[in-house]
Amino acid sequence: MDGHTEAAAPLLDVRDLTVKFVSREATVTAVNGATFSLRAGEVLCLLGESGSGKSVTLRALMRLLPKQAQVAGRVELGGQDVLALQGKALRAFRGGEVAMVFQEPMTALDPVYTIGQHLVEMIRRHKGGTKAEARARAIELLDLVKIPSAARRLDAYPHELSGGLRQRAMIAIALSCGPRLLLADEPTTALDATVQIQVLILLRRLQQELGMGTIFVTHDLGVAAEIADRVAVMYAGRVIEEGPVADVLRAPAHPYTAGLLASTVHDQAPDQDIAAIPGSPPDLRRLPGGCSFAPRCGLATEACRQAFPDPVYPAPGRMARCLRVADVLPSLIGEPA
């Protein structure tokens, strides 16, 4: 019905996820009906610019949003209703079944605890066992993420490690309890180019070896190309395009994805302007009626401003919420699905 052919139930299923931040002045709709799913062992990249709702979506999946956030919709991980979890079950879920790697390890790690203390606390909290057992497991984990002289680094404080090693330690902590779902929020954005590629290759290898489903938030199309199986492009709180990474980057179906590709500096001729998307993303306090991208879209018509477009499936495994898909992606329309 929706173009997907998989028979098994997905690991993660997100339906109409909506997150609103309500204050006296305004209501900000950060996530506005995001829908996507993830199979076991699959890497999905949530791709979008600042304010697109990708990080808020990720935090909603781990139930990390503050109390004033109004979350609606459905999030199911292996059949269990994530949004209904409370108390003990929620604490076991966080870190045990789902773990997160944050963008800035320096602020995500506690500066007064050593890397070893972080790991031991996490392991004993979820798996029990003695301190010595947990410490042995911690050394294994640091070896797993290729931190040299692991036993010695266990006693290092976060500030004593370089940026690349800190992020590896963060990954070790996230993997320590064998999560079924790994969430990564721009884990390589703060790293230098030569270190970023090392961490990306490490994450790719670990994901393949350990087989956990992974959601990877990034604004960088290049990062998505390196690590993703599928991408979901977000704009103003909605998933506006989804599909296999190679297909989406080669032939985007949504005008926003096409614009993002064209405006990313990559081998453009130095004597020509870059095809930038005009304007800026909409104010989330006052979203336009109809398609949120219509005000910046060269293809927008009156119909685009009437209602937000329903999903269309231009090819197997691909989805776009755009009325003009036929004009963005003429070659794919009409092919047998």
Partner 1 sequence: MSAAMEVQPYVDPRDRGGAAQPMLIARELQRYFRVKGAGKGAVVRAVDGVSFTLFKGETLGVVGESGCGKSTLARLLLHLVVPDSGELVFDGDAVGETGGVNIGDLRRQVQMVFQDSYSSLNPRMPVQDSIAFGPMVNGRSKTEARRIAHEILVKVGLRPDLFGPRYPHELSGGQKQRVNIARALAVGPRMVILDEAVSALDKSVEAQVLNLLRQLKRTLNLTYLFISHDLNVVRYISDRVLVMYLGQVVELGPAAEVFARARHPYTRALLGSRLSMDAGRRIEAPPLVGDPPSPIDPPSGCRFRTRCPHAESVCEARMPTLGHWEDRSSHVAACHMTTPDSGHSLAGSA
CB of 170 to partner 1, least distance (A): 15
Q: Which residues pair with 216 in a beta bridge?
A: 45, 184
According to DSSP, residue 264 is labeled S
CB of 37 to partner 1, least distance (A): 20
133 or 220, CB closer to partner 1?
220
Q: Determine the Cα–Cα distance for residues 309 and 315; give it in Å rounded to an integer.
A: 17
CB of 49 to partner 1, least distance (A): 4
Query: Do residues 119 and 174 make contact, with C-beta atoms less than 8 angstroms apart?
Result: no
Query: Do residues 59 and 75 make contact, with C-beta atoms less than 8 angstroms apart?
Result: no
29 or 218, CB closer to partner 1?
218
CB of 200 to partner 1, least distance (A): 8
Q: In a 10 Å sphere around its CB, with 0-12 CB exposed, 13-18 middle and 19+ buried, how is residue 286 labelled?
A: exposed
95 or 259, CB closer to partner 1?
259
* Binding stretches for partner 1 (CB under 8 A): 49-50, 162-165, 192-198, 200-201, 219-223, 225-226, 228, 245-246, 249-250, 259-260, 262-268, 270, 273-278, 280-281
Closest of 33, 118, 113 to residue 71, by C-alpha? 33
According to DSSP, residue 2 is labeled -
CB of 25 to partner 1, least distance (A): 13
CB of 281 to partner 1, least distance (A): 8
The residues, any chain, with a CB within 8 Å of residue 80's CB and separated by 6 or more, are none
Distances in Å between the Cα of 261 and the Cα atoms of 97, 171, 188, 251, 267 are 34, 29, 20, 10, 12
CB of 269 to partner 1, least distance (A): 9
Does residue 123 sit in helix, strand or coil?
helix
> Residue type for 62, please?
M
Handedness of CA 207, 48, 251, 241 (dihedral sign): positive
> Residue type for 1, please?
M
Q: In a 10 Å sphere around its CB, with 0-12 CB exposed, 13-18 middle and 19+ buried, how is residue 230 labelled?
A: buried
CB of 282 to partner 1, least distance (A): 11
Distances in Å between the Cα of 319 and the Cα atoms of 19, 116, 136, 213 are 22, 44, 46, 21
Query: Do residues 194 and 112 make contact, with C-beta atoms less than 8 angstroms apart?
Result: no
